[in-house]
């Protein structure tokens, strides 16, 4: 490695797909955190397929998180 070359951080994505995956993952991850789950998703009244809405919503959020990781892996990010 050239000593005069500027060092780039490994914490920042270097490609557009990397930025897309990072922003999508963080946005979805916020939906799984307590401020959102306690205020928006905390609905025990409606039932979906025999499960409370809360569990179905969290299953959807976690499934979307896994899909973002699979998408990023397939794109080689």
Domain boundaries, the chain: 16-75
Looking at the DSSP bridge assignments, the partners of residue 51 are 48
Judge residue 57's burial from the number of C-beta atoms within 10 Å of its C-beta, 0-12 exposed, 13-18 middle, 19 or more buried: buried
Q: Among residues 75, 45, 40, which one has the least CA distance to residue 58?
A: 40
Cα–Cα distance, 77 to 67 (Å, whole number): 14
**pLDDT truncated to tens, each residue of the chain (77 aa)?**
567 777 777 778 888 999 999 999 999 999 999 988 888 888 778 888 888 888 899 999 999 999 999 999 999 88
E strands present in 1-77: 47-48, 51-52
Give residue 41's pLDDT: 83
């Amino acid at each position: 490695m050239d000593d005069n070359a500027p060092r780039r951080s490994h914490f920042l994505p270097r490609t557009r797909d990397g930025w897309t995956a990072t922003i999508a993952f963080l946005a979805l991850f916020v939906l799984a955190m307590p401020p959102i789950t306690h205020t928006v998703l905390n609905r025990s009244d409606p039932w979906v397929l025999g499960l409370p809405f809360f569990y179905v919503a969290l299953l959807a959020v976690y499934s979307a998180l896994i899909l973002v990781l699979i998408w990023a892996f397939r794109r080689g990010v």
